[in-house]
Structures are given as C-alpha cells and as structure tokens.
Amino acid sequence: MTQIMIKPKVILVLFIFSSLMMAQTNEVMEATSPNNPGEVDFGEFQTKNNKYGIVKKDGTVIVPYEYDSLSGDISRNRIKAIKKNKIGLISSSNEIIIPIKYQELEFIQPHYHDFLKIRDKNKYGIINLQEKVIITNEYDDIRWHKDNFFIVTKNGKVGAIDKKGTSLMKLTKGNDIQKAIWKNRIPKYFIFKSDDKFGLVDINGNVSIPPLYFKLYYWNDYDVYNAITSENKWGVLDEKNNELLPLIYERIVIDQPDFIVVKKNNKYGVVDIKNNLLIPFEYDKLFTISSKKCGSRHVGTKDGTRELLDNKGLPLIKQLNFDNINFVDQCLFETRMNNKLGLMDMNGKIILKNKFKVIKPINSSRIIASEIKNFKLFDFKGSLLTDEEFEEIRNINSSQYLSIKKNNKYGLINFEGKLIKEPVYDKIQWKQNADNSIYGVIGIKKIKIISDGK
C-alpha cells in the first residue's frame, strides 16, 4: 500500500489559507443577513432588563442596552432615543446626532428626514440634523403646509414661516392657514381660519377680508375669491373685500369673468363680473362647455328640454337630444346618442350624424371616422372623401398627404382622398428637410416616394 507523505510546511500553508477563508466568510456573514444572503444586516431593536439596544442577527451589540426607548430608521441612522424622559437622535453606531435633551422630537416635512420638530420647555421649534435652529422654540404648535411653508401658532395667533426660517406671514389672530396666494412666485396673501370662519390676510398680518365666511376659495385664473356664508349664500370678492357679486346666490361657477353661471331661487342664469344679467334665471340646469382655444357654449335645461346656448344666451339648438356633448380638437363638438358618436360645429350645425364608434379630427380640415372597425376620411362639412375603408388613416405632418394602412401595408392618399401610393410598404416615414421627402420602407430598403411635396 502506498503511503502519501505531507510535509509540515504544506500543512502550515493549508492551515493559514483555510483560516483566511473562514475569516472572510465570517466577515460576510456579519455584514449580511443569514436569512437573505446579500441583504445588509443593520441590526434590530431589542430589549434587555427593560432597556433598549440594537443587535445584529449574529448577536453583536452595536448600540448598548442603555435607552428607555429606541425607534426609527436604523439603516438611515435616524434613530430616536429616549433616556430619562428626554429624547434625541443617535446613529446605529451610538453616536449622538441630536443631544438627548428635548421633551419631544419628530421628523417633519418638507424633506422628511431633514427637519425635526422639537419641544423644549413646552414650546415647539424646528431644527435641522446639524441642530441648527430654523424656527425658535417659542410656538404652541408647528405644522407643515403643502404650499411649502410651516404654519406656526402662538397665543391664539397663526403665522407662516418658510423652510429657511424667514417669516412669510406675521402672526394674526386665528388658528390655521388654508392656502397661500402666490403672485410671481412670492406669497402675497393667505386664506386663514379664525373661530371656524375664513378670511384673507396679507404678509404683514393686515386682514383684508375679515374671517366671516364658512368657506373662502381663490380662483387663480381670475384673481377673485368665492365667499360662502354659513347660510350657504355665495358671492365673489376681490382681495380688498369689495363685493363683485353680492352674497345672494345659491351657487356660482366662474368659467370666464364675463360669463358666470349662478343659481338663485333654485333657477340658473348667467351674469358678468359686474353682476349684469346676461341670461335670465329660468333654467333648471345650466352648465358650460369650454376650451381656452375655442371659447364656450352652454347647455341649459328648461321644462325638461335641453338647449345649446351661445355666450349671449341665444339658443343655437332649441331641442338638444344628445346624451352628451364634449369639445374635441379643432373646436368641434363630439356628440353621443345611444352610444353612437357624431360631430357638430360650434354653432350647432351637424357635421356627422350619430352612427360612429370612433371619430377623430386629424388636422385642421380632415376627420377620420369608423362605424365598426375600419376608417373613412371626411372634410369639415361632413363630405365623404374616401369610398374605400382603411385600417388606419394617419396624419404624417405633411401638408398634402396622409398615411393609410390596408392589409397591414402602408400607402398614401392626398387630402382629397385620392390614392397616391398603393399600400405596399412596411412603413411610411416623412422627413422634414429641404425637400420634405416622404419615404416608403420595404424590409431594410428605404425608398423616396414623394419629393419636394410632389
């Protein structure tokens, strides 16, 4: 039998190599969770003899058992520590981030882990993680407002301070702030609350609209305020408390300053911002359909009949039988009746009757519409331009041509619906350059099929 002899030097090398490998393995095991290899083990809160510490899964104590309570995010070193009824902030290596000397400490917006609301001597303030004072601890309460400032209250007064500690609104009698009114990115006014009523105050604490209202809303587009009393009477005020519309209405909807839908004695009418009557109070329902580009039209219901009205209140259609109407592109109305779509212009003229599943204006003069699946081309007068139907008709930004798809191949038609290129291409591409070329693609081959717009 052959015996294998291992020299002592070889045994020593093997022992050292094995020891090094075990040491590296132990280091990895300490840094990762045994239950989930690759996951860093930051430790977890544990108690011992009614004291809190932080311990890794292998039993290593990284924060000693010396605290009355520990909570927070260990992985981000945001750990709230309580000792002898005082609270501060420590890291996972037991370093003091914020001294343990406050009555209360909590993270607060805008950046949840950057600002701390602290209470000391029964007053609140704001500090950052370097313990720099942002707001001195002199307030009865501090809250973060979504309009990007802190609300502070003190001795029955309310104010606003930004995240740099700069005062935005001086303390004013009240207990809350509903909204900041920004102009040119600078806060100018604040809607505030006092004794459950709302008013308006400027940055210097001067009350411009007394807190008398059950609700107060700001209409940014028109720089006016919708005021509602506790008796549910509506009116419109400016920032100086001037009555633009008296507090006599049951509802107000401002679409534009010279055409305001109002409700009075359970009937709807229209006034302008000077309260001049434009449409009498004779409608059971009245709503506005509008767009910035196209303007407005109005649908009123009276004695069970709906009418389409222009901006002077004159009926464009005296009996509106559609289930619904909405603005679409090019200042046209899409109409719906019995789940079929049609098209109507701003003056109530029917362009397409209600028989389509899909209707879409594709440029300033052409419409595509589908009754079942495929599409036809129409002009804005409702005239059919293509007898043939296509799987797709698409605007390619050309001034003369539209892309069509048939049997999964692409071709071209002009704006009059005439076939220009048979649908034999895998793709149509339009390139805006000196000659405004249109290309047809077959496989990897790209062919110029239209040049110089011709």
pLDDT in tens, 231-247: 999 999 999 999 999 99
Closest CA to 376 of 387, 365, 362: 387
Which residues neighbour 317 within 8 Å (Cβ) at sequence distance 6 or greater?
307, 308, 348
In the structure encoding, which two tokens stand for residue 84, read together?
């002898």
pLDDT at 411 (0 to 100):
94
Averaged pLDDT, 308-318: 87
Mean pLDDT of 216-226: 93
Q: Which of 305, 316, 314, 248 is nearest to 278 (CA)?
A: 314
pLDDT of 195 over the 90 cut: yes
Are 451 and 437 in contact, with CB atoms under 8 Å apart?
A: yes
| Domain spans in the chain, listed from the N-terminal domain onward | 41-139, 390-454
**Does residue 200 contact residue 239 with C-beta atoms inside 8 Å?**
yes
Distance CA 344, CA 325 (A): 9
Share of the chain above pLDDT 70, in %: 89
pLDDT of residue 297: 87
Length of the chain: 454
Tens digits of residue pLDDT in 130-175: 999 999 999 999 999 999 899 999 999 999 999 999 999 999 999 9
Average pLDDT, the chain: 88
pLDDT at 404: 95
From 440, 415, 436, 308, select the one nearest 363 (Cα to Cα). Answer: 415
Closest CA to 76 of 117, 122, 43: 43
